[in-house]
A and B are shown apart, each in its own frame.
Chain A
Amino acid sequence: MATQAMQAPVQLTISPRLAKNIRRNVKERIIELILMMAALVAVATTFAIVGVLLYESLSFFKTVSVIEFFTDTQWTPLFEDAHYGIMPLVSGTLTTSAIALAVAVPIGTISAIFLSEFASHKTREIIKPILELLVGVPTVVFGYFALFFVTPLLQSIYPDLPSFNMLGAGIVMGIMIIPYIASMSEDAMRAVPMSMREGSYAMGATRFQTAIKVVTPAAISGIVAAYILAISRAVGETMVVAIAAGQQPNLTFNPLDSAATITAYIVQVAMGDLPHGSIGYQSIFAAGLVLMAMTLSFNIFGHWVRKKYRESY
């Protein structure tokens, strides 16, 4: 009997409840569209920026050859005797960023280990908000802090240090990005399951051994992500270096010299009254393009390091 019922042709009717779904589906689609458009704003903006950078740089490279751009050792686009060598700006950017990272990576990582593995709940609840408050300090304040506090302090050690120098700017920039590293690394470490720590303690490990040998490797991808963000912040930072490192493009990796970074140059020129379409105007787009390429390559490098680290454990 049952088989007979199954063989009989089944009549399909749409129940009134299912029919209503058409209206609901349209509504769903509209909502979906709105959500997608919101997401597209960020993507479109990125593409627009890249487009503008490329377009304006193209006009720049019609006047200046790419070879000159990368090999000339002077950057003086606004002078009578104009030179268009980006390297002095790149050296300034790399040097200040390297100093910043040399300060922020060890201090930030150690703070994260302390906060995640050693600090009591109460201590963490006090220290973490204070650390994150640093993020809220306007960068211009950090710039003056570098110029009027850190540099004089350094000058008491090296009397020959110029008032504008990369060392002071780099150190302050490092202090500025400590919270990014500390906070993100701490989040990554706290996300390591307790069972892993218990496993380590049960083997007779100390707190320090557990933190260094188990928790840190388990959180390494999050920690590396924090470093990458910090690098991008350092390379793209403007105010501190514009104020405290000087604005003379100077091909040097000596932290005791004054120099300009890419960002410092852009802000300096963008604030002046350059005629639209002039070579000086176009040069800031070429500089911006280089800056973006640098940040991008750091990101790719970080991604690669993260993958490599993961596999070697």
Chain B
Amino acid sequence: MATVTTAIKAEARDLNFFYSNGARALKGISMPLYENKITALIGPSGCGKSTFLRCFNRMHDLYPGNKYQGEIVMHPDNTNVLDSGVDPIEVRMRISMVFQKPNPFPKSIYENVAYGLRVRGENNKRIMDDKVEEALKGAALWNEVKDRLHDLAFNLSGGQQQRLCIARALATDPEIMLFDEPTSALDPIATANIEELMVELRSKLTILVVTHNMQQAARVSDYTAYMYLGELIEYDDTDKIFTNPGRKETEDYITGKFG
């Protein structure tokens, strides 16, 4: 197999997830995330792909009654991020997230990017300035905002706001970045910018992206997982999934017969 040459950054092992109403949203999911690769999650609405993504940074902890079962292990340190003894805040410091709709804070552009650093107790202005600049450059936003770093972030366009959210997530040097349908609220040009950015970021970190858009999965990802009704139907190289899927259900979905 070609995949053995790259290291596994994280893997889900027999992961089940239950919402507080008892609904079982994920059914025994096991799959790897390869380091410095982009893994895409596709599937029809309600298939559990966002639920799965949000397990990685323990977002479900914010709502009482949700229950995880199984493991998500991060390498090389073998930490199970779902372990109740692991602080979700520590997990979120290593695994950052970009949301479906741009959600900048009601602060300046600078303060938005500096947020993660401030939360970690960083107060040194020089370090902060450097990190903010680096993150904004990393998110391909620096040239557009360098002269108005102290403007309110809400004054940016939707695509710029989303890149700001990526810069915010980048500033703290995470190991994994989660994207939850990052372009669904954006126009085609902004979408192309974000996709290009994701491919660039791959050299720095590992990416897991949920997308509704199969072309997007095909364009940007290295591996693709197809989920349906909380189950992982098929996981493979993106090329293989889109040209020669192993399962009939996958083929039906990607050819548009269903979903």
Contacts and interface: CB of A to CB of B under 8 A. Distances in A.
A313 interface: yes
Contacts of A200: 105, 115
Given A199-B165, A311-B152, A313-B152, A204 B89 contact: yes
Nearest to B89: A204
B120 interface: yes
A53 B242 CA distance: 80
Interface residues of A, number: 22
A311 B106 CA distance: 10
Contacts of A203: 92, 96, 115-116, 119, 168-169, 172
Lowest 3 CB-CB distances: which A-B pairs, in order?
A202-B97, A204-B92, A199-B103
A134 interface: no
A204 B172 contact: yes
Interface residues of B, number: 29
A292 interface: no
A205 B97 CA distance: 13
A198 interface: yes
Nearest to A120: B64
Contact of A217 (B92, B97, B106, B169): B106
Contact of B107 (A197, A201, A217): A217
Nearest to A217: B106
Contacts, number: 71
6 contacts: A195-B99, A198-B59, A201-B92, A202-B96, A204-B92, A205-B115
B57 interface: yes
A198 B108 contact: no
Contacts of A196: 103, 105-106
Interface in A53-88: none
Interface string A204-225: 1110010001100110100000
Contacts of A214: 105-106
Contacts of A213: 105, 115, 118-119
Contacts of B92: 201-204
B102 to A, nearest CB: 9
Interface in A24-47: none
Given A209-B119, A313-B152, A201 B106 contact: no
A204 B119 contact: yes
A120 B103 CA distance: 25
Given A198-B99, A200-B115, 20 more contacts: A120-B64, A195-B99, A195-B101, A196-B103, A198-B62, A199-B104, A199-B105, A199-B165, A201-B62, A202-B57, A203-B115, A203-B172, A204-B90, A204-B92, A204-B172, A206-B119, A218-B105, A313-B106, A313-B107, A313-B152
